[in-house]
């Protein structure tokens, strides 16, 4: 047998990337936050907000440390969608009419699915690559981090109601 002298990169390393560790912390914060959402609204709000801040931090870490991965992108997107879904379901239980929040949930999931699927069909590497889009709003949202940040913060504040 001939031994290969070239070291193989360890595949498990991606799970220990800094942005992915931030993502795991987000998952844990959200699990705890939603477990106590009815009994401790203030702590829930703080944890949900910190998870939202960590969403920005994990993207920054991925770019800063050049630790971008498909696993991290999926972890981030799934965590975002589940967090938003849980929040909208809770709001639908607390406020009337709840159908408004459930409609927003359907819009959130379907719009993200359509954006991701169209990205896949076009063979792009990221759903944020909208340079050639004819839609001015997509270009403004994904092309300007300040505008995107403003939209995200405004959305979270409007949904949280605090």
The pLDDT value given to residue 136: 77
What mean pLDDT value characterizes the chain?
83
Asked if 67 and 19 touch (Cβ cutoff 8 Å), the reply is: yes
Asked if 140 and 132 touch (Cβ cutoff 8 Å), the reply is: no
Cα radius of gyration (the chain): 18
Please say if 58 is a catalytic residue. Answer: no
State pTM to two decimals: 0.71
The residues spanned by each domain of the chain are: 13-125
Query: CB neighbours (10 Å) of residue 141?
Result: 17
- SS percent in the chain: helix, strand, coil, step 5: 75, 0, 25
Is the pLDDT at 32 greater than 80? The verdict is yes
Angle between helices 41-64 and 18-35 (to 10 degrees): 170
What CATH number was assigned to the domain covering residues 13-125? 1.20.120.1760
Q: Where are the beta strands (DSSP E) in the chain?
A: none
Q: What DSSP letter does each residue of 99-127 carry, written as one string?
A: HHHHHHHHHHHHHHHHHHHHHHHHT-S-T
55, 58, 76, 80: the active-site residue: 80
14-34 average pLDDT score:
96
The pLDDT value given to residue 3: 56
* pLDDT band (50, 70, 90) for residue 113: confident
């Amino acid at each position: 047998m001939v031994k290969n002298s070239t070291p193989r990169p360890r595949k498990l390393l991606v799970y220990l990337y800094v942005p992915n560790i931030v993502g795991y912390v987000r998952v844990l914060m959200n699990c705890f936050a939603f477990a106590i959402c009815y009994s401790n609204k203030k702590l829930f709000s703080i944890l949900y907000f910190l998870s939202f801040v960590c969403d920005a931090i994990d993207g920054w870490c991925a770019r800063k440390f050049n630790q971008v991965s498909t696993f991290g992108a999926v972890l981030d997107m799934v965590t975002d969608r589940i967090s938003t879904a849980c929040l909208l379901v809770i709001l639908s239980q607390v406020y009337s009419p709840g159908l408004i929040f459930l409609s927003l949930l359907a819009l959130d999931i379907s719009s993200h699915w359509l954006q991701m699927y169209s990205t896949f069909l076009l063979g792009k590497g990221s759903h944020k690559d909208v340079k050639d889009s004819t839609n001015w709003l997509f270009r403004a949202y994904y092309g300007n981090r300040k505008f995107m940040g403003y939209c995200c913060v405004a959305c979270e504040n409007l949904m949280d109601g605090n």
